[in-house]
Structure 1
């Protein structure tokens, strides 16, 4: 009969009920003083002994000791639920969509401990024929971060995803811009469209403001120069009987409300055509009949018919209707491409100074300087 195993060598015994050899090793104690035992089993004594050696080696190396059968799908869903705290709703929706469409259906059934580099390489290679490089980076990030989270939870020993390279994806859609004739046609179509989307397109095309900035634009940030008081005031206070108008591009629908960069926080002087579009929208909303216009300051300029904030989908759908009426193929254009359009399209009557301020998102040399008293806190 073999002698007793030395302390720290673990245990090895035959289980009559299971009909298998059991290997066990005490790896620590709970706060209540109970032993934490890791076990493995084998049909033969040699198989169980080899598994015991693996447990001892991993324990001495400081690796996570786990017999977890958690799958990739379970790990990804756990990370989506607990690993995106503090992220914006749009970010959560983005990652959830990519996970449900590209990660879980493809490799979700695999157990984390059985997932191999070859599995991931084949998965990424298959997706590279369907997705752009940016999308590949997103699905890789989802799996990588889910695996790191699983390591923290002692569900797997190491992150094999980090050993894999991201292949190049499909070529993306080539960026483009409306030429002068197309821009003129779109402007004409926008004039005949609903005042909301029409004003949105005209302002975007003539100022170069980003789509996420226009969706957050409030009436308090549409200002006019009051010549009598020599100060820039919101149109909600000073009305529309002035010569010079501008918009404060200070906010966006991004998480936290900030613009894309520090330099993106800017003031854009409006050409007359854009002023007319905003005034038409003002009257269309019935705001000219409101007694307390000052109370409309934080109301958004561009909203849905119900007065709620626009989503990217709302803008895209209505934008494509206008594009189609302009004789262009709606599926080939997106709202953000108004920003890159050939914007000396500002038509008469437009002053040369206003023409120079259209489109450019850089600093404006002759930008209005609102007084401290008239500027709302960004």
Structure 2
């Protein structure tokens, strides 16, 4: 395992190396690390996975099995062992993972209002109103933002952002279809204009400490935002929203510590779905490879009642009068 961590992850993103190191040091090495590789059996792996299934989600089980599997494959390639018993073992169902959530319209409005005093106001507005991934918003550059558009063009070009980069080691988006150019809602345009002015003041205040990177969303000295800091600020905004009078009813309660920044994206999907936007269009907006991905990942956020057929048939056949009582 330590050999695989040291040499088998060459060229991978540093965050990937860190994640795999934590998984191995926490779940694989303490349980199986002292076992001689030639003595490791499929039963050993089955028992290990069954024990971990009591405390880990199925997705985490897949991750730790993958670590072990790749380490043993590396050992096979170097004649340390004749076969890979890990491939003989299936992954049991683990604990239910943390379900993703979405803000309904009322809560989303409250969050945007609460965010007005935040240094990351524009970040939250653009994320919530465009459905961008947090890994796409943090490296967004002013070069990829057009707040004016071109009304004289045919067809007209509206104000937009080009989501073409991410924080991944390659700088590219998650998949090719994630590269997309999104028209900006008016509220996002206004927020970005405020951000441009605010950043100008930050540049002056920072003086020689300012690091110019052309980024839209930055720290006070111009550097790229850290995911943990964005999440922390988002929860502060949620806490302010939770104290607003319109969010005091039990059904609209917000518990800030239960939320992460990526749920601005699930909220975007949910709000559009509630307004009857077709799944195909939502899939294009969020940069998924297919509608199947959108439906699987955001199943709870997508309105389950498909009304197209009923609406069409009512138009064709008419709506019958209610029966007499």
Q: Normalized against structure 1, the TM-score is what?
A: 0.63
Higher RCO (Cα < 8 Å, 6 or more apart): 2
Structure 1 residue ranges, 4+ long, deviating more than 6 angstroms after superposition? 287-290, 343-346
Structure 2 residue 132 is the aligned partner of structure 1 residue 209: yes
Structure 2 residue 183 is the aligned partner of structure 1 residue 282: no
CA distance in 1, matches of 2:189, 2:217: 14
Q: Normalized against structure 2, the TM-score is what?
A: 0.72
CA distance in 1, matches of 2:227, 2:151: 40
Q: Is the 8 A contact 2:104 2:270 kept in 1?
A: no
SS of aligned partner of 1:268: strand
Q: Residue 284 of structure 2 corresponds to which residue in structure 1? A: 362
Write out per-residue CA displacement over residues 93-139 of structure 1, whole angstroms, 9 at most, x where no aligned residue. 11111001111111111111222222211111110011111111111
CA distance in 2, matches of 1:254, 1:340: 21
Q: Is the 8 A contact 2:129 2:268 kept in 1?
A: no
Match of 1:257 among 171, 177, 181: 171
Higher helix share: 2
Q: Residue 198 of structure 1 corresponds to which residue in structure 2? A: 121
Q: Residue 185 of structure 2 corresponds to which residue in structure 1? A: 271
Consecutive unaligned residues of structure 1, counting only runs of 5 or more, are 1-75, 233-242, 291-295, 347-354, 365-378
Write out per-residue CA displacement over residues 130-188 of structure 1, whole angstroms, 9 at most, x where no aligned residue. 11111111111111111111122222232222222211111122222100110011000
CA distance in 1, matches of 2:136, 2:195: 18
Write out per-residue CA displacement over residues 47-71 of structure 1, whole angstroms, 9 at most, x where no aligned residue. xxxxxxxxxxxxxxxxxxxxxxxxx
Match of 1:103 among 28, 31, 34: 28
Match of 2:255 among 321, 329, 338: 329
Within 5 Å, give how 1:300-339 maps onto structure 2: 300-327=215-242, 328-339=254-265
Instruction: Compute the displacement of 1:216 (Å).
Output: 1.5
Higher strand share: 1
Structure 2 residue 96 is the aligned partner of structure 1 residue 171: yes
CA distance in 1, matches of 2:32, 2:257: 33
Instruction: Compute the displacement of 1:204 (Å).
Output: 0.6
Q: Is the 8 A contact 2:131 2:268 kept in 1?
A: no
Consecutive unaligned residues of structure 2, counting only runs of 5 or more, are 205-210, 243-253, 287-325
Write out per-residue CA displacement over residues 21-56 of structure 1, whole angstroms, 9 at most, x where no aligned residue. xxxxxxxxxxxxxxxxxxxxxxxxxxxxxxxxxxxx
- The CA RMSD over aligned residues, in Å, is 3.1
Q: How many residue pairs align between the two structures?
A: 262
